[in-house]
Structures are given as structure tokens and as C-alpha cells.
Structure 1
Amino acid sequence: MSDPAPREDVAAFLAYLAESAAPPVSALPVEAARLVMRANCTLADAPPVPLARIEDIVVPGPAGALLARLYDRRTGRSDSPLVLFFHGGGFVLGDLDTHHSFCTWLADTLDLPLLAVDYRLAPEHPFPAAPDDAEAAARWVAQEPDAFGFRVTGLIPCGDSAGGNLAIVTMQQLALRPAQVPVQACWALYPYVGGGTDWPSYRDFGTDFFLSSDEMAWFDAQYRAIAGDIRHDCLDGPIPPFPLLVHTAGLDPLRDAARAYADRTRAANVSVTQLEAAGMIHGFITFRQAIPSARDDCAAFAAAAKAMIAVDPSR
């Protein structure tokens, strides 16, 4: 169990947010909220890591072309798994730029290629646009394993918050109807997994801990998901046999539901690595400058991911 007290740097960050008296995103027009998230990520996150290859590409989607960005520390990569990354933002906010710095860091740290997908956002494109796009991107990579100049040998859906939901949902859909390239693992950072709001963490951390219950209700109203649909409520979906990494934050309203999903997966005799950032808030992967200790949590996540797939250092 996590200590309910925030770390010193987390407490300082929360105090700064309280003193700024900025309106919550739920009080803003959607486009303004998106601008705020972009600005916050630019200010709060660490600088991007220089990589040998950062390339914007177009991926076919179910309703038209999707933008995506390929990250790789190598230009001459051989056969390799590929991390398929989906950004957070409540299915309403976020884009390739909000998580750009983290994606450069993760691709560099893991020495794996990473493809970030700019899926469609609500309210312009409500559910199931996001999971449809995520699954389509995964299947396109599997059908075109040599599209990047190296052979993709496995898929690793990965994401944070809403993107963690999309990573799990994509894994579940690929378990129900396998793609031409296998899923090797799934990595979810403080994911939204459904399960409603009747959780102690939702009550304990729904105010004054960055992600609020009011904001989550606002995201839900924009996204308009169908209750119980397994492409949204992961807890109601199948349990695939692929190794799962779940990294929760101790002061996150979503913490307990994500723990429950990890427990349910473990009970099905599937390999689960479960980490928790004690004293940490939701969204920490894009706060590595504002909350320096978040770097240690990201490093723990990367170490667990490396151990899970046994990365070949010669690749």
C-alpha cells in the first residue's frame, strides 16, 4: 500500500498549482484545455532526448489517415519488437507533442523503436473512435512489418492514463483476433480501466491531487463511452495471456481500479509486474522537470519493461 502523504517535490508542485488558481480544464472550452495541456507538458517535462531517428509518418485509420511519430536511437536497426504508444489526456486532450519528450526518453532508454499514434479525440470523435484507431494502427504495423526499414517481430502496446486504457484494450482485441505479428507484452502507466467510481482511491484523491473527480466526469461526458463495452471497461474484458506491466501512482484516483485489473490478470495465471509510485500523483511521466523524483519512477518502469522482454543488447 502506498503512503497517503505526497513526497516533498509532489507537495511543492501541488502547492504551486493551488496558488496559481488556474481554472480546471473542465471549466475551459475543449480547444483551450488542449492548449493548456500542451503548455503544461512543455513547462513541466524534461527536455527531449536527441535520437538518430524521429520521423513523422501517416498510418491508415478506419476513418482516414492518422498521424504517428517513429522514435529510434538507431538508424540501422535489425529485427525488433516495436512499442506502440498511446498518449494520455482523458480521450479529449493530448497529442504527439505533449508526450514527445517522454517518448524520446523511453525509446532511448529501452533501445527499442517506438511508434506514437495520434488517435482521434472526443468530443469531435467520441467513443469508439479512439480504440478503433489504436487497434487499426496495431494491425497496420503487423501487416506491414517492414514499413520502417526493419522487421517488426512483436507489438508492445503502451500508454499512460487514457493511453494505458487504449494499450490494454488493443492487447485484448489482438488476443480475441490475432494480428500477423504477435503481442509481446503490454505496459500501462496509471491506466484508466473502467470499473466505476466506488473505489477508496477515488474518494481519497478526487480533489487536491491534480486529477479531480470533476475533471474525470468532464472527460467521460466528452468521450461518451458505452458502459460495459469491453473496448472501454478493461475490467469487463478478456484476460489475454501476454505479460502485463502496470505502474500506478499512490495518490491517483485511478489507482485502485488499476490495482484490481492487475490482480484479476494475476489470478488468471498471467505474468504481471506491478509497480507503484508511492506519494506520487497521476500524470507523472510528463512532470519529470517539475517533480524531479518522477525520473526515478520512470527509470523503475523502464527497468521493469526491459526485464519483461529481455531486450537483446546486440539489436
Structure 2
Amino acid sequence: MATQPDTTDQNTPFVRPDVQACLTMMAAMEGPAMNEMTPEDARQAYLAMHMLADAEPIELAVTRDLTCPGPVGDIPLRFYDKQAERDKAGPAIVFVHGGGFVIGDLATHHSFCTLLADQLDLPLIAVDYRLAPENPFPAAAEDAIAAARWIAGSPEALGLDVTGLIPVGDSAGGNLAIVITQALTQSPAEVPVTAQMPIYPVVSTDRDWPSMQDFADGYVLTKEAMEWFDAAYQPDSESAHYNVLDQDHSQTPPTVLITTSLDPLRDQGRAYGAALLQAGITTSFYEAEGNVHDFIALRKLIPSSVHDCNAMIGRLNGILKGLEGLPNSGVPAE
């Protein structure tokens, strides 16, 4: 069971009141920690938490399950669209869920996907990649890249004329969003990667960041959980399909990068943002001060997370507006 952070210590970082209430509730819950469960039990617990803690999904004109070909079989997808039909070409969001490459699926991030599709008014395709430990590294990356390339081809199954891709994902999904971007800029798909939005991503196999120690326990994601995820996924520290921080960033498209101040992954996310800026990449950085990892799926328990979600979506929308009509942007002129 996670321990509650000590709020009497003058060195304790700022925690929003509604975040503190959530952490207090979680600390009081009985039962084993996620890293003490079997993967299947952890997946059920993760889904149950999201059903309890997340906002209600938004009704959209289209919410439809489908599949695309993958490296070892069909990859489940879920297609969202605010509009029943689109008569104009445009970019599409490729959403990749978080969960340490071990837990999470189309259901756990369903509500957030409806929010993205609604507020951006863009088609969104969520990818249900293979999970570890049954499918260790690089299975998740291979599935995410394959799905993105399929979407880029504007298949008849989608009924869309896709002009660009916008990879978006949280945590492990943030890593996979960057992996998609890097793979499709190095070996281009049929359409360009327009922009990307990694949300509190894991970008390195290094676990010695100060924030990993400072927020090791009591702030939703724990250091022990990260070690458990790593043991299951078994990432390769040298591979571009995981260690995205140490890769060439010079061809990265405009990026909205999200971190949270109370997150073991905070410092590596900041380092990724610094690497993008050093490479001269247009980067909009937003850190959710006083909030925790997984906040996009805790909007009912942490109401202030709604502001953070609106802020990040607003930043992505602003970047897309600025790209309208530019050559090779994937965003047609209005």
C-alpha cells in the first residue's frame, strides 16, 4: 500500500488541495500495491481505478472499434470522431495509452480520447498494442509504429483523407508517441508527422533522476512500480524504440510536452524538453504544478486536472492553427 506524503515537512513540495485529498484517499485504501499483483490483476485494478476516478466520456458522432494489420496479427483500434462524416482532408490523432507497457487498454483511456477528439475536432485513432510480460520489448513499439503507418495510408476502413499524423500518449504511451514520431521521420510514412504531444512520458532507461527518488512513493506512480514495469517490458537501453532521449531530435515536429511536478518521471520529461529546445524544435512546455502522474485519468477525483487537460489541448490546438497551409505540415489551409 502506498504511504501518504508527509505534509508537515517544510521541504515538502506544493500539493494542490484536491490532489492531497486524492492522495490521502489512495493511502487509506487496503490491498496490495500494483507491483505486488499479477499482471492480469493489475490490469483489472487499473481499469477499475479509471472507471472510478475519471470524468464521464463525451458523446461523439463516431466511436467505433476496428483493427489494422500488425507484426504478429491484427492490432485492435478505436476510432473517434466528433463529425459523422468529413468532407475535407486533414490530420488525425494517433493516441497510445499509458500503463508501463504492462497495463492499460482502449477502455482505460476512453474518456480522455473522447475529450481530445471533441476539443480538437479531429479524428482520433487509439491503439491497443501488445502488453508485457507476455509480449516484452519491442512489441509495443512495433505495434504502435505499424498502426501509425496504416493510419497514414488513409485506409478505406477509416473513410478519411489523412494529411498528417499527431502522435499523442501518456507515460508509456508518451514514450510510444515519440517512438512513432522518430520512426516516421527517419523512414517517412505516406503523410508527415504534423506535431506530437507526449504527456509525462518515460524517455530513458535511467532511473537515477532526482525526481525518481523525491517522489518514489505516495504520489500515484511509484519507483517500485517503475521497476516492476521495466522487469516486465525489458527495454533495451540502446534502442531508439525506448531510450528516445538520446536520439537525434533535429527532425522532430512541433511538440507540446507535458510534465507534472509531483512525478517520478518529471526530470526526464524536462530533460527531453531541453533536448528539443537545444535542437531548435518548436516546443510548448507545460508542467502541471502540484499535480501527479496519471492526472488525465483522475479528473473526477482531482477536478483541477480539467484545467490542465484544457491547457494542454489548447496549446496543441494553437500549434496546429499556426501550421495551417504551411508546406509539408500536414495541416491544409482553411
- Residues 45-64 of structure 1: pairs in structure 2 closer than 5 A: 45-64=54-73
- 1:267 alignment partner in structure 2: 278
CA offset at residue 298 of structure 1? 0.2
Q: What residue ranges of structure 2 are gaps of 5+ in the alignment?
A: 1-11, 325-331
The one-letter code of the counterpart of 1:112 is L
The one-letter code of the counterpart of 2:153 is Q
Q: Secondary structure at the match of 2:94?
A: strand
Q: Secondary structure at the match of 2:189?
A: coil
CA offset at residue 228 of structure 1? 1.8
Contact 1:143 / 1:181 at 8 angstroms: preserved in 2? Answer: yes
1:201-259 per-residue CA deviation (whole Å, 9 max, x = no partner) reads 11111111111100000000000111221110111222133111111011001001011
Q: Distance in 1 between the 2:176 and 2:317 partners?
A: 21
Contact 2:205 / 2:237 at 8 angstroms: preserved in 1? Answer: no
- Residues 1-315 of structure 1: pairs in structure 2 closer than 5 A: 4-77=13-86, 78-239=88-249, 240-310=251-321
Q: Distance in 2 between the 1:22 and 1:185 partners?
A: 41
Runs of 4+ in 1 over 2 A off after TM superposition: 143-147, 311-315
CA offset at residue 149 of structure 1? 1.6
Q: Distance in 2 between the 1:50 and 1:314 partners?
A: 28
Q: What residue ranges of structure 1 are gaps of 5+ in the alignment?
A: none
- 2:3 alignment partner in structure 1: none
Q: Distance in 2 between the 1:206 and 1:172 partners?
A: 30
Q: Secondary structure at the match of 2:174?
A: helix
The one-letter code of the counterpart of 1:30 is P
CA offset at residue 148 of structure 1? 1.7
Contact 1:195 / 1:257 at 8 angstroms: preserved in 2? Answer: no
1:12-35 per-residue CA deviation (whole Å, 9 max, x = no partner) reads 000001111331110001100000
Q: Distance in 1 between the 2:66 and 2:205 partners?
A: 35
* Seq. identity, %: 47
Contact 1:48 / 1:100 at 8 angstroms: preserved in 2? Answer: yes
1:120-150 per-residue CA deviation (whole Å, 9 max, x = no partner) reads 0000000000000000011111223554222
Q: Distance in 2 between the 1:217 and 1:195 partners?
A: 10
1:133-176 per-residue CA deviation (whole Å, 9 max, x = no partner) reads 00001111122355422200100011000000000011001111
Q: Secondary structure at the match of 1:65?
A: strand
Query: How many residues in Structure 1 have an aligned counterpart in Structure 2?
Result: 313
Contact 2:181 / 2:252 at 8 angstroms: preserved in 1? Answer: no
Contact 1:146 / 1:152 at 8 angstroms: preserved in 2? Answer: no
CA RMSD of aligned residues (A): 1.5
Normalised to the residue count of structure 2, the TM-score between the two structures is: 0.91
Q: Distance in 2 between the 1:132 and 1:72 partners?
A: 25
Normalised to the residue count of structure 1, the TM-score between the two structures is: 0.96
